[in-house]
Structure 1
Amino acid sequence: MEPHISARLLHSVEELTLVRELEGMVWEADHPLPIHQTITAVKNGGIVLGAYDEDKLVGFQYSFAGFDGKKAYLCSHALGIHTDYRKCGIGEMLKRAQRDEAIKKGYDLITWTYDPLETVNANLNIKKLGAICSQYIENCYGEMLDSLNAGIPSDRLLAEWWINSDHVAETLGHNGGAQVTVTDCSTVIKVNINDQGYPVPVETITSLTTKDVRLLVPVPAFYQNIKGHDLSLALSWRMATRSVFTHYFQQGWQVVGFIKNEVAEHEKTSSVHYYVMEKNK
């Protein structure tokens, strides 16, 4: 039986203590946020949401107020889900609840960073939620020692979620927004499959222009599998995607979509998904 999960705002020391315990379980290598930090954020424009299976906390989302000198926004810092409750749609549910609460507080922008090679996150952030990206941050957090990040520069995309925009409303209302196919676009990384069946970036293309309506950035569907088998190949993917994202963002392009290939079991190792970029109007 599928669990019945509900989300609610968290305010008390007792609730935030449970969040800290869950955070410590999800990211074992990191020190969880102190309660005095999260409770101060909640009292000053931040939001902490909990996902509950009846009375059990199984997921959380933590965000705090941000300001860049010109604009106030909500900075979405951490989203964690209990290992027994992955693939239950809790991440999307928490983000939708976060949007609702942020609108009530008067925000129109939520930002966060994520690894562009983690395609589960890309599928949620871009395809399901309608975030856009136009900033690439090299080695954002420096050297990270946890199992997901060790050995690879911690590059990140900055996701911008304009929560009152037509684009976001369309995406949320139509389960992924307008459909784009691979044949509609020009690809900026040429990919071959090596003898082990893994996708290899063999050439980056930085000569495409505004005459191309959409551009595709391929990324491996299962990056952690590659990282576990061939660290040098994983690093090649980091450098190739860093090169094209940095170049095209500087030319005024932005990520507006994500194409997830549905592949057969025997093709999973070699498959790639695609970011969709359009010229910023």
Structure 2
Amino acid sequence: MRIDSEPITAARDVATDLARRAALELRPLSSNEEFAAAATLLARIWGTSIDSSPLSSDLLRSLSHADACVIGAIAGGDVVVGVAVAISGPPASENMYSLIAGVSPEFAGRGVGIALKYAQRVWALERGARRMLWTYDPLIRRNAHFNLVRLGAQVVDYIPEFYPPMHDALNRTDRPDRLCVSWDLTSAGPSAPAADDGAVALRAGADGGPKGNGIHPQRRMRVWIPRDIERMRVEDSGLAMEWRLAMAEVLREAETHGLVPVSVSSSGHYVLDKVRAL
């Protein structure tokens, strides 16, 4: 597979600049101490015991040894404050799959997450990949904005109950529905938030619950994303499940009309539209 040096050089420049802005070092993790710190960080972010970390230290070590992407965000010379892990497809595949990415809460809002993704992009381009896939919870608004607006990724599928039942603190009271996105690594870049126009298919009622208006076979529909579904799960799990089921219904119906989320508006709506097939 031919690997173009020019896009890789430009990607490295972008990743280096983002790391500089975040005042971090971004590099592959290599020592057992770093793998242990990364596993501990992921357990803390996902609210599990270290024994139930989303990725254990020994698995991180094995993935690294198998030439998977195990990148850490390092502060102060030796403190792991973020981690991103990705794997490749079959030999000569142009697809990478991002398994997990997390940032210490103390470093939230400092540009660590986007720096990690662009470091992953460099790693993937160096190995001949042209796009990266991953999934995220469609009800977490900040992740939707990050993926669709800040990174410019494109939704390719909606998958109800993507995972078996999950037992971490973030997901154990909810159903693990996911949107799958594809990120074009050769032309990665942010997109502007979508305009707040088009009919509203799902909104919040006066009681805070979801109110559906139905999908019409037209372009540009809008779907409200709750402000903080994670807090809602803790404070009112029944209401959170109402939103889960309502979002599932509207996304499934939208798919039948060829509509997918293409962006997030400044007010917090998904904007659904028709897009070309990848």
Deviation at 1:148, TM superposition (A): 1.9
Q: What pairs up with 1:1-281 in 2 under 5 angstroms? A: 4-29=23-48, 30-55=52-77, 56-67=79-90, 71-165=93-187, 168-169=188-189, 171=190, 177-183=191-197, 185-194=198-207, 198=208, 200-206=209-215, 208-210=216-218, 212=219, 214-261=220-267, 273-281=268-276
SS for the counterpart of 2:74 is strand
Deviation at 1:159, TM superposition (A): 1.6
Q: Letter of the 1:228 partner, please give it.
A: V
More strand per residue: 1 or 2?
1
Asked if the contact 1:142–1:153 (Cα under 8 Å) also holds between the matched residues in 2, the reply is no
Deviation at 1:70, TM superposition (A): 10
* Aligned residue number for residue 18 of structure 2: none
CA offsets 1:38-88 (integer angstroms, 9 cap, x no match) = 344334452111111122111111111235x99542111111222322222
SS for the counterpart of 1:144 is coil
More helix per residue: 1 or 2?
2
RMSD: 2.4
Asked if the contact 1:42–1:48 (Cα under 8 Å) also holds between the matched residues in 2, the reply is yes
Q: Letter of the 2:148 partner, please give it.
A: I
Deviation at 1:146, TM superposition (A): 2.4
SS for the counterpart of 1:235 is helix
User: Residues 247, 66 of structure 1: CA spacing in aligned structure 2 closer, same or farther, 3 A cutoff?
Assistant: farther
Deviation at 1:37, TM superposition (A): 3.1
Q: Letter of the 1:189 partner, please give it.
A: L
Percent identity between the aligned chains? 27
Once the two structures are overlaid, the 10-residue window that deviates more, 243-252 or 27-36, is 27-36
CA offsets 1:141-169 (integer angstroms, 9 cap, x no match) = 2322322222221111112112124xx33
Once the two structures are overlaid, the 10-residue window that deviates more, 83-92 or 27-36, is 27-36
CA distance in 1, matches of 2:65, 2:41: 21
Deviation at 1:227, TM superposition (A): 2.3
TM-score, with length taken from structure 1: 0.81
Asked if the contact 2:133–2:183 (Cα under 8 Å) also holds between the matched residues in 1, the reply is yes
**Which ranges of structure 2 fall in alignment gaps of 5 or more residues?**
1-20
**Which ranges of structure 1 fall in alignment gaps of 5 or more residues?**
172-176, 262-272
CA distance in 2, matches of 1:241, 1:70: 37
Asked if the contact 1:66–1:72 (Cα under 8 Å) also holds between the matched residues in 2, the reply is yes
* Aligned residue number for residue 264 of structure 1: none
Question: Paired residues, what number?
Answer: 252
CA offsets 1:168-205 (integer angstroms, 9 cap, x no match) = 33x2xxxxx2342213x2221143221xxx3x212241
User: Residues 260, 223 of structure 1: CA spacing in aligned structure 2 closer, same or farther, 3 A cutoff?
Assistant: farther
Q: Letter of the 1:136 partner, please give it.
A: Y
CA distance in 2, matches of 1:13, 1:39: 7
TM-score, with length taken from structure 2: 0.81
Deviation at 1:36, TM superposition (A): 4.4
Q: Letter of the 1:221 partner, please give it.
A: R
Q: Letter of the 2:138 partner, please give it.
A: P
Deviation at 1:104, TM superposition (A): 1.4
Asked if the contact 1:51–1:58 (Cα under 8 Å) also holds between the matched residues in 2, the reply is yes
